[in-house]
Amino acid sequence: MRIALISLDQAWENKEKNIERCSILAHKARDHGADLVIFPEMTLTGFSMNISNTAEDRKNSTSVEFFRELALNFGIAVLFGVVFLDAGKATNDAIFIDKEGNLIGQYSKIHPFSYAGEDKFFNGGSQISSVNLGAITMGLTICYDLRFPEIYTALRECSVIVNIANWPAKRIAHWNVLLRARAIENQVFIVGVNRIGIDSKGLEYLKSTQVVTPNGDKLISEKIEPELDIFKIEPNYVNEYRGSFPTIQDRKPAIYKNFL
């Protein structure tokens, strides 16, 4: 499977400009044979707390409709981030749409980033989520979730787990280490999709989008341009690797829960 990862230089709270750029990049991804294109967290707005400007009606979302049309027009599956209104606050969501335009997966970020005040404006989700795309079962997570290994353990039956993010440069060492740790401890492919550029608060974001193998190695991408990389993932590799080095079978969840 060929997966296009978009390190989008997001225009702050500017959906129209981001829509234009996403369309161009998705077109290029399709032309290079990608089966799936993945965008960063809060794709069309950047990581904004201004929910009065960014949040949409879950049942009537202009962002969902745009990406649905994009998937249909290009014949490519799409994973993106969007903000939905929710009980006086909002939720920070990842949406998965297949190449036929069907919404087949939705995940609300379980861990709002309280350090930045995200919890004041966003409700945390309460369910893990995964989707099936061909031979791949793919788990969905968002940014700060990466610091909580339990959610990745809960998604251990997946062969690929994705994290879409707005992870700033000043903590990029954590991003790199945690992506690799989540891959090694769960023996899965971990896909991290992070934005680039500088946001309206002056936070810098470095090119750090990557795919880590179950063995903790970084895959080499086919670099199309600074915002677009394509990776090839072999679905059978996870089962082969787990069979050759079976550590997951030695977990003791019945014991762990007594201490958590």
Write the pLDDT tens digit of every residue in 138-152.
999 999 999 999 999
Where are any strands of DSSP class E within 143-248?
Answer: 160-165, 189-194, 197-198, 204-205, 210-212, 222-225, 228-232
Domain boundaries, the chain: 2-256
Looking from the CA of 216 toward its CB, the CA atoms found within 13 Å total 8
Q: What is the pLDDT of residue 260?
A: 80
Count of CB atoms within 10 A of residue 228's CB?
Answer: 23
Q: What is the dihedral of CA 155, 161, 162, 168, to 10 degrees?
A: 80
Residues with catalytic roles: 41, 109, 143
Write the pLDDT tens digit of every residue in 162-173.
999 999 999 999
Q: What is the pLDDT of residue 235?
A: 86
The Cα–Cα gap between 121 and 94 comes to 17
> Alpha helix locations (H) across the chain?
15-31, 51-54, 62-74, 118-121, 149-154, 172-186, 236-244, 253-256
Q: What is the pLDDT of residue 67?
A: 98
Question: Low-confidence residues of the chain, pLDDT below 50?
Answer: none
Q: What is the pLDDT of residue 257?
A: 86
Contact 213, 183 (CB under 8 A): yes
Full-model pTM: 0.97
Strand order in the sheet with 136-142: 130-133, 136-142, 160-165, 189-194, 210-212
Packing angle, helices 62-74 and 15-31, rounded to 10: 20
- Residue 26 has φ and ψ, to the nearest 5°, of -65, -40
For 2-256, which CATH class?
A: alpha beta
List, in order, residues 6 or more apart from 59 with CB less than 8 Å away.
none
The Cα–Cα gap between 35 and 111 comes to 29
One-character DSSP codes across 75-143? T-EEEEEEEEEETTEEEEEEEEE-TTS-EEEEEE-SS--GGGTHHHHBPPP----EEEETTEEEEEEEG
